[in-house]
Amino acid sequence: MEVKMNKFPVFTKASNSLLKESLTQEIFEKLKILKTKNRFTLEKAIKSGVENQDSSIGIYAGDEETYSVFSPLLDEIILKYHGFEKSGKHIRNFEANDLEILDVEMTSERIISSRIRVGRNLKGFPLGTIISKKDREKVEVKISKVLKKLEGEFKGNYYSLNNITEEAKEMLINDHFLFKEGDRFLKSAGLNREWPDNRGIFHNKDKTFLVWINEEDQLRIISMQKGGNIKEVFSRLARALKILEEKLEFIFDDHLGYITSCPTNLGTAMRASVHIKLYHLKEKKLEFEKIADKYNVQIRGINGEHSESNEKIYDISNKRRLGITEVQGVQDMYDGVVAMIKKDEELGD
């Protein structure tokens, strides 16, 4: 069998990705000749991490089978990131009443907005890293048809990036809805191919429910609103997902939960976050990072991963996704935000 990648990849001393940490010569030799049914290889899986030595993870999946064919490597990375053993079973919970939240703690003027998103991919299709243009078109048509038929609080409009008008484009930019071509990490993984073909955005009339089609995952389903009423945001997402799951079949594994392109999103595939003003985070970064570690949350700039903060506004979100329920993920974010607000208030405005 011809093997294109026949040499162990070179990692710089500065590289500290989980790929570098987990990929041994033994694992490499074992996996380099394997392929999934969609002809996804180890070389394709680790291409982004090899080309971008500053990656924190360094590996992407091409299909559902990636997680079994390349399990000697991916199980190790998943364990290190999620702390989740292979024998574990993923359990769902979208019951908002199970959240232990005091609404008064989320009324702080520091909290600008709240959002919860989940990633989903359709059963029967490869993931975005290797999906063909023809299949990507089928995915867009299939999902957009369902979205266009939504009623009630979810009724809205779909905007294809292929033929969006300048007026609609300006509106989506002003609302901060328009997603852009992925960064160099996603580009190396193959997720930017044929951009912007067969990508699009749906949102309801109240602009509290949003779906991205064929960005990093085939669906990014988002519930959002101004302020800090995270329970309301979570409840809306749960209602939307119940409707969509009646019309669309998503890739789900009893162990890994919802299958996604990046292994960090496995499990709930959920990211619950708030945009919040923290006046002292920059000069007291280590103190806030200790809080983040304690409550399993991440601190980012408001323009997403790898971005800096603007005007002392930060994005705080749950880090854990696999081995916990959706309720636990939202609870992590809530507990972390409450602790950070308290710390910021102690330091003085």
- Whether 140 is catalytic is no
Residue 307 has pLDDT above 90, yes or no: no
Tokens describing residue 283: 């000069």
Contacts of residue 289, defined as CB under 8 A and 6 or more positions apart, other chains included, come to: 299
- Whether 117 is catalytic is yes
Using one digit for the tens of pLDDT, what is the confidence trace for 87-120?
778 899 999 999 998 876 677 788 999 999 999 9
Using one digit for the tens of pLDDT, what is the confidence trace for 13-37?
999 999 999 999 999 999 999 999 9
Model confidence at 349, in pLDDT bands (50, 70, 90)?
Answer: low
- Among the listed residues 92, 184, 193, 300, the single catalytic one is 300
- The pLDDT, as a whole number, for residue 172 is 87
CATH superfamily of 18-82: ATP:guanido phosphotransferase, N-terminal domain (1.10.135.10)
- The pLDDT, as a whole number, for residue 84 is 82
Q: Do the domains spanning 18-82 and 96-347 agree at the CATH topology level?
A: no
SS3 state at 148: helix
Distance of CA 265 to the CA centre of its chain: 5
Q: What is the mean pLDDT of the chain?
A: 92
Tokens describing residue 263: 């292994």
Using one digit for the tens of pLDDT, what is the confidence trace for 311-336?
789 999 999 899 999 999 999 999 99
- Whether 165 is catalytic is no
- Among the listed residues 66, 262, 320, 321, the single catalytic one is 262
- Among the listed residues 110, 115, 271, 321, the single catalytic one is 271
- Among the listed residues 76, 215, 216, 326, the single catalytic one is 216
Residue 2 has pLDDT above 50, yes or no: no
Query: Which stretches does DSSP call E strand in the chain?
Result: 111-120, 156-160, 200-204, 209-213, 219-226, 252-253, 257-258, 270-277, 297-301, 313-318
CB 94 within 8 A of CB 81: no
58 — alpha (psi -120 to 50), left (phi > 0) or beta? left
CA distance 59 to 18: 9
- Among the listed residues 170, 305, 308, 345, the single catalytic one is 305
- Among the listed residues 117, 120, 236, 321, the single catalytic one is 117
CA-closest candidate to residue 277, choices 342, 344, 330, 331? 344
- Whether 300 is catalytic is yes
Torsion sign over Cα 254, 39, 125, 266? positive
CA-closest candidate to residue 263, choices 131, 91, 123, 127? 127
- The pLDDT, as a whole number, for residue 48 is 97
User: Which of the listed CATH numbers 3.10.350.10, 3.30.360.10, 3.30.590.10, 2.60.40.650 matches domain 96-347?
Assistant: 3.30.590.10
Mean pLDDT of all residues in 288-302 = 92
Model confidence at 304, in pLDDT bands (50, 70, 90)?
Answer: low
Contacts of residue 297, defined as CB under 8 A and 6 or more positions apart, other chains included, come to: 291, 316, 317, 318, 319, 332, 333, 336, 337
- The pLDDT, as a whole number, for residue 108 is 79
pTM for the full predicted model: 0.91
Where along the chain do its domains lie?
A: 18-82, 96-347
Model confidence at 123, in pLDDT bands (50, 70, 90)?
Answer: very high
Cis amide prior to 9 (ω within 30 degrees): no
CB 237 within 8 A of CB 223: yes
CA-closest candidate to residue 270, choices 314, 323, 214, 329? 329
SS3 state at 156: strand
Give the CA count within 13 Å in the CB-facing half-sphere of 184.
8
99 burial (CB, 10 Å; 0-12 / 13-18 / 19+) is middle
Residue 4 has pLDDT above 80, yes or no: no
- Whether 181 is catalytic is no
- Whether 311 is catalytic is no
CA distance 308 to 320: 22
CB 267 within 8 A of CB 252: no
- Among the listed residues 110, 115, 120, 220, the single catalytic one is 220
